[in-house]
Amino acid sequence: MHLPTTYFWLGLFSLCLMSCHSVTKDKQAPPPNVLFLAIDDLNTWLGCMDGHPNAKTPNLDRLAIRGTLFTNAHCQAPICGPSRASLMTGLRPSTTGIYGQISDNKIREADSLLTHVTFLPQYFQQAGYKTMGKGKLFHRFAPEGVFEERGGREGGFGPKPEKRFKYDPAWFGKPPGTQTDWGVYPARDEDMIDYQTAQWAIERLQQEHDRPFFLAAGFIRPHVPFYAPQKWFDLHPLDSIQLPPYLLDDQGDIPEISVQLHEILQMPTTEWAKEQDEWKAIVQAYLACISFVDHYVGQVLDALEASPYAENTVVVVWSDHGYHIGEKNRFAKHSLWEEATRVPLIFAGPGIGAKAVCDRPVELLDLYPTLLDLCGLAPNAQNEGKSIRPLLENPLIDWTKPAITTYGRNNHSVRSQQHRYIHFEDGSEEFYDHAQDPHEWNNLIQDSESSDSYSKWIEQLPRINKPWSPANSKGANAYLEAQRQRDVELGN
Ligand SMILES: [Ca+2]
Ligand SMILES: [Ca+2]
């Protein structure tokens, strides 16, 4: 046999093999599925994060090992409704005027920009995905038409005892108007809403789907009331509980408008909890609720791993904002400070680095474009976030875009890798250096040596600051409600 001819045929055969392989591979690799898991009011008290030494979250920890954990991710608004509206529309609160709680079906009418907005799951549906959702995804469940299969949401925040355990109307001299309470309740996990949500998601993962899917489940713990069955409290014995850092006169160096914006109604203060010897019990109950929800997130992850979708599904777990558990004299979200803006965010699946930790600042607003990018869908030109796929491939690359959180109109926090700069509508400011001051106790705004480093963040503030939309519910305190009324009365 003539050698060159042999090489020619061998070469052609190899080419054919390569091209046949590539066709087959394409046929076998449809776009990835998405498993989208929301957790309500979860701060960074995870075993895999540095939030709290008593945290026990083995399931979120193992997901973090499978994927990329973001340790400097932030919400766009520090309360449920506007945070979720921003994530699902891909637009900042300052672009839409959604600063307060908002009914799911009012989002489209909040601003003319939103009349034809394509919510994140809908974008997947329009790209040929099967979309399924249950639980707290938007503020309550989801606007009409967002999910092809609507699992809905059970009412409220789960079963309640006949009489609240700890709620005290004397906290602020007001009648009960909050869900805030803590204690062992109910007796069985099966009576918790999140148990039902997990079972529903597991059933969907056990089904055969004829198209790629976008499966969303929204868990409601650790949102108040901090109720969970006994076994979750047993994981966190009271005498083992460590208290978060706290500085009594912390508010002495912040501007007056910050004091007004951060006024918390109908929630206990840390001083109250100390006087009543309840602080450890609140920490214990919050940790118990987190361990409970971690277990049921873990059951959904187990179902994914046991399914034919294990290798071809992008998993994302996120919380809608953080929560103060006594730091800054409060038990609440509702702030532009670290404990309320910072959230756990974990991605895992095809194309995503494993055992990776990324400390670059990222935003929940980035989820929409990132998920489109990971699934090979065309970008949505309306999105204001940025795909963080480059960080999922290499968590150490340069990333200068800061994370911005907005509370009320024209009050913004800008979080970079090291600093937090806060700018209020009247021009007042706060500035913190996390390298020296991780608890944001020392407002450096008067410190001339720091002025160079914060001035650059002013340029990052949103240019648009839409008035409050009339679609918002009342503001959460006197300052926010006055701001809302002023905007609405002026007719926007
Ligand atoms: Ca929430
Ligand atoms: Ca301070």
| Closest listed ligand to the CA of 247 | 2
Convert the pLDDT of each residue in 388-413 to its tens digit. 999 999 999 999 999 999 999 999 99
Strands 403-406 and 419-423 come out as unpaired
Q: What are phi and psi of 455, to 5 degrees?
A: -60, -30
For ligand 1, a single-atom ion, the residues with CB < 5 A are 40-41, 80, 320
Specify the DSSP element, H or E, that contains 295. Answer: helix 279-305
What is the number of helices (H) and of strands (E) in the chain?
A: 15, 17
Read off the pLDDT of each residue in 163-176 and give the average, rounded to a whole number. Answer: 74
Lowest model confidence (mean pLDDT) among 169-178, 233-242, 481-490: 169-178
Residue 447 has pLDDT above 70, yes or no: yes
Residue 451 has pLDDT above 90, yes or no: no
Going from the Cα of 50 to the center of ligand 1, the distance in angstroms, rounded, reads 21
Going from the Cα of 223 to the center of ligand 1, the distance in angstroms, rounded, reads 7
d(C-alpha 324, C-alpha 335), whole Å = 9
Going from the Cα of 254 to the center of ligand 2, the distance in angstroms, rounded, reads 6
Where does 1-119 have alpha helices with state H?
3-28, 58-66, 80-89, 93-96
Read off the pLDDT of each residue in 60-77 and give the average, rounded to a whole number. Answer: 98
Q: Are 314 and 356 in contact (CB under 8 A)?
A: no
Read off the pLDDT of each residue in 155-174 and give the average, rounded to a whole number. Answer: 82
Which residues are part of the catalytic machinery?
80, 139
Whether the upstream peptide bond of residue 175 has omega within 30° of 0, thus cis, is no
For residue 134, the one-letter residue type is: K
Convert the pLDDT of each residue in 313-322 to its tens digit. 999 999 999 9
Q: What is the pLDDT of residue 334?
A: 97
Q: What is the pLDDT of residue 4?
A: 38
Q: What is the pLDDT of residue 168?
A: 76
Q: What is the pLDDT of residue 3?
A: 38
Going from the Cα of 169 to the center of ligand 1, the distance in angstroms, rounded, reads 23
Going from the Cα of 248 to the center of ligand 2, the distance in angstroms, rounded, reads 9
Q: What is the pLDDT of residue 446?
A: 84
Give all domains of the chain, ordered by start, each with its CATH number.
32-394 (3.40.720.10)
Q: What is the mean pLDDT of the chain?
A: 92
- The gap from C-alpha 199 to its chain's centroid, in whole angstroms, comes to 22
Q: What is the pLDDT of residue 5?
A: 38
Q: What is the pLDDT of residue 452?
A: 65
Q: What is the pLDDT of residue 170?
A: 72
Read off the pLDDT of each residue in 487-491 and give the average, rounded to a whole number. Answer: 90
Lowest model confidence (mean pLDDT) among 62-76, 127-141, 259-273, 275-289: 259-273
Which residues is 147 bridged to in the sheet?
none
> Which residue is listed with tokens 């602080």?
279
Which of 327, 328, 329, 298 shows the shortest CA–CA distance to 315? 298
d(C-alpha 106, C-alpha 104), whole Å = 6
Q: 311 versus 178: which is more confidently predicted?
A: 311
